[in-house]
Structure 1
Amino acid sequence: MNDNDKQPGGGGGNPWMKSLLIWVAILLGLALFVTMVDGRSATPRGTAIDYSAFLDKVDEGTVKNAVISRDAITGQLSNGEAYRTSPVQDSTLIPRLREKGVSFTAKTDDGPSVWMVLLYQSLPFLLFLGIAFFVLRQMQKGGGANGAMGFGKSRARMLTQKEGKVTFDDVAGIDEARAELTEIVDFLKDPTKFARLGGKIPKGALLVGSPGTGKTLLARAIAGEAGVPFFTISGSDFVEMFVGVGASRVRDMFEQAKKSAPCIVFIDEIDAVGRHRGAGLGNGNDEREQTLNQLLVEMDGFEANEGIIIVAATNRPDVLDPALLRPGRFDRQVVVPRPDIEGRVKILEVHMKKVPLAPDVDSRTIARGTPGFSGADLANLVNEAALMAARKGKRLVAMAEFEEAKDKVMMGAERRSMVMTEDEKRMTAYHEAGHAIVALHEPASDPIHKATIIPRGRALGMVMRLPERDSYSYHRDKMYANLAVSMGGRVAEEVIFGYDKVSSGASGDIQYATGLARDMVTKWGMSDKVGPVEYAQPEGESFLGYSSSQPVRMSNQTAQLIDDEIKSIVEGGLHRAKHVLTEHLDQLHLLAGALLEYETLSGDEIKKLIAGEEIGRADQGPKTPVVKAAGTSIPKTRRTPGPFGSPTPLGA
């Protein structure tokens, strides 16, 4: 923490204000001293009386003496009491005093004292001298970014070991990225090892990855392992409204780094200053581009900056200027991906060390149910589970809290206060049962993990499927299975309630199915009629209407063919789901009744139910739900379900 970060109670504060207050106190003290020395400023003593009363007392002969000055008339009465009054222009006063025998004297005004004259004449000079001294002092302090002339200074902060040392042991789940950066650590520890064979360490490493994957943490771990100074700054700290300030801060940052070399300079969100030049309007000679030009020169210009390694992070490498990515600058791009299942297990174990866990917590089960989660997402999951356990008054965080936390993070909090009619509940139960039955009878579908009709977020219910392992490719049979599962809810509504009673609850399913079918036709070449040709529109960056990628050109006949193929694939999934549900209609009724009875069923419970076995709950005992035929009433019993798994929802 520097001086500017201290709280007011801790001796910190604004140095400008502190110096100004000191000079004001000095001037006020000088004025007070002169006032005390100058005795003329004292107020005359005595009882204040009106001038007319004073004349009456003179006429009565009760005034003993009088001292007449320009500002006041003072003296004593016959009884020894002092008096004072304000004089007026009265030519009869002196004759009256003589007539009544009052002794009087005149007090002349000698003008301001020597001290007051010196103060009045020297005050402007002292004020000017104080301001000049104040400004010069701030300029000499100079290096501070918050000084009077420090707006061109670098905002980079140097982290020390006192602020928490981070090593590679604290970075889990990104082993490949960590291995690539180990070479930089070895260079910082022993530079001669590489120089002996004429090798040069890369001057810059660009960490590329989605938000929350641990890019900043990885950069701090490099500094912690190497034991060198670590400067950190954000890309937005360079850009200001003043011309040339960004370039000045870049120069100052490298000057600071040279003094501490070997060191690491970490620039977070470098895309704020390193965007492609010339993409905007006008002549392009703006402040951001001047800052980028200076950064390019400092990284690899005429003067070599030995021992300074620049590590930058961004999640938009496509918008960076090519000169920034060439060899000699950021010549090493390290991808920091979302962790796989093994990486998620390690990340969870790192964050779980700070949480008291119950014996039933299995980090691998949690990792299996969180595909696609980043390191920040997993940290948030552990925190949510701890908060839930604390709200329940528990001393240990159990697996139940982790399952509830997954549901909350991925789907939102439960909306049990939402009022739904019995018909809406019944339709929701059959809708979700339709998804589940189709998923059970599609061999390529992921296993069902949970089915629920409890509203969460914007969904009235949800069927969640849990992939058995992380998938890095998408096969045709699984795509068709997912299309059928997504159409299962709409088909179930039509089969049970009729064509006219189909609801709008399948809007999300239709959107998912249409997007999947469009990718199959236009991206992945999985349409025999269209062929293995890409017709997808490029996703280039646009700036004020300018796109860096040209749109795909196609004839009207090709566009019509693509639309027909998308419709055919989606309707194929619809017919596939209708065939499954018509063939297994009894299972659809059974599962819908169970969802109305229990509200939430796990994947194992659904399998037991379909196999004709009883569902055993610790709070309810073995029970097989009573299921009526379509069109009859369903039991209205509501029970609070226990917590079960909550994997990634693949179709609601």
Structure 2
Amino acid sequence: MSVSPHPAAASISSRVVAELGAVTVVVGLAALLVGGFLSAAVFVVTSFIFVTTVYVGWPIAKPILKFSLGVAVSMLERFWDRLLDFFMDGGLLAKTYNLLTVGGLASTLDVLKVTLPIVVGMVLLVRFTLSRKPKNFRKWDLWQGMNFSLSKAEARVDGSTGIKFSDVAGIDDAVDELQELVKYLKNPELFDKMGIKPPHGVLLEGPPGCGKTLVAKAIAGEAGVPFYQMAGSEFVEFLVGVGSARIRDLFKRAKVNKPSVVFIDEIDALATRRQGTFKESTDNLYNAATQERETTLNQLLIELDGFDTGKGIIFLAATNRRDLLDPALLRPGRLDRKIKILPPNAKGRLDILKIHGSKVKMSDSVDLSSYAQNLPGWSGARLAQLVQEAALVAVRKRHDSILQSDMDEAVDRLTVGPKRIGVELGYQGQCRRATTEVGVAITSHLLRRYENAKVEYCDRISIVPRGQTLSQLVFQRLDDESYMFERRPQLLHRLQVLLGGRAAEEIIYGRDTSKASVEYLANASWLARKILTIWNLEDPMVIHGEPPPWRKSVKFVGPRLDFEGSLYDHYDLIDPPLNFNLDAQVAQRTEELIRDMYRKTVSLLRGHHAALLKTIKVLLNQKEMSGEEIDFILNKYPPQTPLHLLEEERPSDLPFMKEQVNNVEYTLQTQSKEETV
């Protein structure tokens, strides 16, 4: 079946073919014409160049070329004659010797040998300085310091810190306080229209390593404005007037590039109390260094709130010694806002660990929440060190990623210290340490299991010497609220835990106890006296004038910061006491409380004698145990389990050495039999 073409399509196709043919003919003719024209032009040009060169250029260049060749030949002949004469007279060595000893070069070297080392040294110094000049003008470069004295506006400015608020964790309250500063730096006109005066200066105070410098950089990085940073010690020089000149220079650059941020770290090195202003000041009025520092401080005060206060400039200062600062600096108008950067809470510590953990290769099985909960008071810098230390441990053990054991090892290294190679207790000493530590740990587990006690859960036990310790016991910390409102039952349970080490020794060894549990007994006595005298949780109530147990023995410069110590000092409740018979009464009541809790602890552990003995054996074999293994043993050996069941070949799934077990049984039980006899 034949298909006839569409009439419209057929007409379009024939038209296109005709147009293509016409275009092809035109292009061909144009190419022929252009090609012929180009060929003729090339022939004419080459003919003109050839004729000009042969009939014009050569007659002109011929005499010049002939003269040049003659001169060159003559010079070569004279050089050859001189060379022959030179070697005929003694050669190169003879001529050089005459030049150095007799000629003018010798006298010239006598003059230059004094000045030449100085000139060479200056050239090398300038060369080193120029080579050290980077593009971003880092503050520790020699060239940077030279530029700073020249008051160039671009020196020491870093408009891109590379740090945002998303890189800051654990100090959310401080970040919220500083958000309005970022809004002002981004849009200062909005504040000017409303007539709002933003905080001109902000003081960031807190312990070291909590993120004061980091949050200051985050403000500039979030707002995208120039960031001028210096340390308080950089204004101190041996030249008079340099400190105040640098203050003026610093704020001059900030005003040129406003809106901007000026940050002075460790401002206490610059702005301590001036002499004579307060009685706490101990500076000498006639000391030149004191006068120079006070002049620098006065210049800073004028720049912050003087005759020419620059708008659009946010001044940030950081210190961990606010008590040393001059009150004139702290007044409103200069440092309008004081923000405390405190160590993060459990949630903040977890966020910090996640940020630093994302920068290294960490296994998904690592539970960072447990470390965040069990490391109270750790700053962001210390948590970052923990992650880096865990990474080093993983590399040392040739792990592909950071494991839970690597994190535990890093915590032990940072809190207690590294393992002491070559230091190991004898077997009897290990038995004593293991008995004490296991007694404390099992008491905690039993109280949580049978009395629903709100005490810490034992996470790990170790009898491996580390740092200054021979054994370690690691507990899992409770939530922060549990320590803020501790009740009497919780404190009494904690008292029982502290007495668990001595109770375990008595159960295993009889009355032949050792000083291995002395540390726990001291803490138990301290806790019992606090329950009676400070917290007044036992009837009758006690009004006592003894110093609080946490009072510091070392006094620091500045006002007292511990409220309890100040309260006792203010009311003169320390010396003498209100009741002279009260000390004996408190001592008697403390002894009664400790004896009562001790009897309960001994009774609790005697019911789990088999589990106690089994845990000691496993710890002696493994050197380290986890809290899960302790729970496993308590489940395997319930209360009132006979001791002869420990003679089984494979007790549960925890391995132990047969000869050590027999030795332990003999060592731990013979003395109790002797006591019975």
Fold-level similarity (TM above 0.5): yes
2:355 alignment counterpart = 350
Counterpart Cα distance in 2 of 1:543 and 1:360: 44
After TM superposition, the structure 1 = structure 2 runs for residues 154-173 of structure 1, keeping only pairs within 5 Å, are 157-161=156-160, 165-173=162-170
2:484 partner SS = coil
Does structure 2 retain, via aligned residues, the 8 Å contact 1:207–1:311? yes
Structure 2 letter corresponding to 1:214: G
Change (3 A) 1:401 1:571: farther
**Aligned residues of 1:155 and 1:237 also touching (Cα < 8 A):** no
Q: CA deviation at 1:408?
A: 1.9
- Structure 2 CA distance for aligned equivalents of residues 394 and 378 of structure 1: 21
After superposition, residues 445-460 of structure 1 pair within 5 angstroms as: 445-460=455-470
Contact (CA 8 Å) 2:460, 2:473: kept in 1 or not? yes
Code of the residue aligned with 1:633 in structure 2: it is T
| Residue aligning to 1:362 | 367
Whether the 8 Å contact between 1:207 and 1:335 is mirrored in structure 2 is: yes
Q: Kindly tell me: are residues 157 and 492 of structure 1, through their superposed partners in 2, closer, same or farther at Cα, counting changes over 3 Å?
A: farther
Structure 1: tracts of 5 or more residues without a match: 1-45, 48-81, 87-111, 135-142, 636-652
TM-score (norm 1): 0.66
C-alpha distance in 2, partners of 1:520/1:245?
A: 58
TM superposition shift of 1:520: 5.7
Whichever structure has more strand as a proportion of its residues is: 1
- Separation in 1 of the partners of 2:257 and 2:536? 55
- Distance in 1, matches of 2:446 and 2:155, equals 59
Q: Say which SS state the counterpart of residue 334 (structure 2) adopts.
A: coil
Question: Could you list the per-position Cα deviations for residues 292-312 of structure 1 after superposition, in whole angstroms to 9, with x for gaps in the alignment?
Answer: 332222211222121221111
Q: CA deviation at 1:539?
A: 6.2
Q: 1:515 to 1:254 in 2, by over 3 A?
A: farther
Secondary structure, aligned partner of 1:451: strand
> After alignment, is 471-480 or 146-155 more displaced?
146-155
The DSSP-based 3-state class of the residue aligned with 1:588 is helix
Matched residue type, 1:281: T
Report the equivalent of 2:627.
603
Q: 2:577 aligns with which of 554, 557, 566?
A: 557
Is 2:204 aligned against 1:207? Answer: yes
Residue 273 (structure 2) aligns with: 276
Superposed displacement of residue 578, structure 1: 4.4
Aligned-residue offset at 1:284 = 4.5
* Conservation of the 8 A alpha-carbon contact between 1:589 and 1:629: no
Partner of 2:223: 226
The one-letter code matched in structure 1 to 2:326 is D
Match of 2:251 in 1: 254
Contact 1:521 1:562 in 2 (8 A): no
Q: Counterpart in 2 of 1:34?
A: none
User: Which runs of structure 2 are paired with 1:51-66 in the superposition (5 Å)?
Assistant: none
Aligned residue among 427, 430, 434 for 2:435? 430
Q: What is the aligned partner in structure 2 of residue 633 from structure 1?
A: 667
Distance in 1 (CA, whole Å) between partners of 2:522 and 2:240 is 49
SS in 2 for 1:173: coil
Stretch deviating more after TM superposition (557-566 or 419-428): 557-566
Whichever of the two has the greater Rg, that structure is: 2
Which letter maps to 1:410? T
CA distance in 2, matches of 1:254, 1:216: 19
Structure 2 residue runs without a partner (length 5+): 1-88, 91-97, 127-141, 448-452, 639-645, 670-677
464-473 or 206-215, which moves further after superposition?
464-473
Query: Is the CA contact (8 Å cut-off) linking 1:203 and 1:308 kept in structure 2?
Result: yes
Distance 2:234 2:154 in 1: 7
User: 2:442, 2:630 within 8 Å by CA — same for their partners in 1?
Assistant: no
**Against the structure 1 CA distance between its residues 401 and 538, is the aligned structure 2 distance closer, same or farther, given a 3 Å change threshold?**
closer
Distance in 2 of aligned mates of 1:166 and 1:353: 16
Measure, in 2, the Cα distance between the counterparts of 1:436 and 1:227: 54
Q: Specify the alignment match of 2:129 in structure 1.
A: none
SS of residue in 2 equivalent to 1:483: helix
Does residue 623 (structure 1) correspond to residue 640 (structure 2)? The answer is: no
Aligned equivalents of 1:629, 1:145: Cα separation in 2: 71
**Distance change >3 Å, CA 447–CA 470, structure 1 → 2:** same
Instruction: Give the whole-Å Cα distance in 2 for the aligned partners of 1:420 and 1:336.
Output: 44
Deviation at 1:543, TM superposition (A): 7.3
Question: Which residue is 1:27 aligned to?
Answer: none
Matches within 5 A, 1:177-576: 177-277=174-274, 278=278, 279-281=280-282, 284=285, 286-287=290-291, 288-415=293-420, 417-442=422-447, 443-471=453-481, 473-477=484-488, 478-497=490-509, 501-503=513-515, 505-506=516-517, 508-510=519-521, 512-513=523-524, 516=527, 529-531=541-543, 536=548, 551-552=569-570, 553-554=572-573, 555-558=575-578, 561=582, 565=586, 568-569=589-590, 572-573=593-594, 575-576=596-597
CA distance in 1 between counterparts of 2:328 and 2:314 reads: 17
Quote how far apart the aligned CAs of 1:558 are: 3.7
Q: Is the 8 A contact 2:212 2:341 kept in 1?
A: yes
Partner of 2:378, secondary structure, is: coil
5 Å-filtered alignment, 1:51-90, equals: none
| 3-state secondary structure, aligned to 1:255 | helix
Counterpart Cα distance in 1 of 2:239 and 2:523: 48
SS of equivalent residue, structure 1 residue 249: helix
Amino acid in structure 1 at the alignment position of 2:654: K
Change (3 A) 1:601 1:149: closer
| Aligned 1:32-51 pairs, distance under 5 A | none
> 1 CA distance for matches of 2:353 and 2:474?
22
CA 1:360–1:227: 2 relative to 1, 3 Å: same
Amino acid at match of 1:611: N
Read off the aligned partner of 1:584 and give its amino acid letter: L
Structure-2 change in CA distance of 1:410 and 1:159 (3 Å): same
Over 3 Å counting, the alpha-carbon distance change for 1:457 and 1:508 in structure 2 is farther
Is this contact kept in 2: 1:265–1:308, CA < 8 A?
yes
Deviation string, structure 1 residues 274-296 (Cα, Å, up to 9, x no partner)? 23333233654624333333222
Q: CA deviation at 1:571?
A: 6.7
Contact 2:440–2:498 (CA<8 Å) still a contact in 1?
yes
Aligned ranges 1:134-153 → 2 under 5 Å: 146-147=145-146, 150=149
Asked if 2 retains the 8 angstrom alpha-carbon contact of 1:152 and 1:245, the reply is no
Amino acid in structure 2 at the alignment position of 1:157:
R
Query: Shift of the alpha carbon at 1:432?
Result: 0.4
Note the C-alpha offset of 1:540.
11
Work out the CA distance in 2 between the residues paired with 1:291 and 1:515.
50
Query: Structure 2 vs 1, CA of residues 261 and 390 (structure 1 numbering), >3 Å: closer, same or farther?
Result: same
Mark the CA change 1:207 to 1:573 in structure 2 (over 3 Å): closer, same or farther.
Answer: farther
How much is the aligned-residue C-alpha RMSD, in angstroms?
Answer: 4.3
Does 147-156 or 185-194 show the bigger shift? Answer: 147-156
Say if 1:599 and 1:565 are closer, same or farther in 2 by CA, change over 3 A.
same
Change (3 A) 1:152 1:225: closer
How far apart, in 2, do the equivalents of 1:468 and 1:565 lie? 30
Q: Per-residue CA shift, 1:430-456, capped at 9, x if unaligned?
A: 110121133224413111111222222
Q: CA deviation at 1:156?
A: 8.7
SS at match of 2:437: helix
Separation of aligned partners in 1, 2:387 and 2:147: 46
Structure having the larger proportion of residues in helix: 2
Q: What are the Cα deviations for residues 589-632 of structure 1, in whole angstroms up to 9, with x where unaligned?
A: 333223213222211211121222699xxxx9813768679872
**Matched letter for residue 557 of structure 1:** P
CA contact (8 A) 2:265 2:318 kept: yes
CA distance in 2, matches of 1:547, 1:151: 44
Summarize the Cα distance change of 1:392–1:276 in structure 2 as closer, same or farther, 3 Å threshold.
same
Q: How many residues align?
A: 501
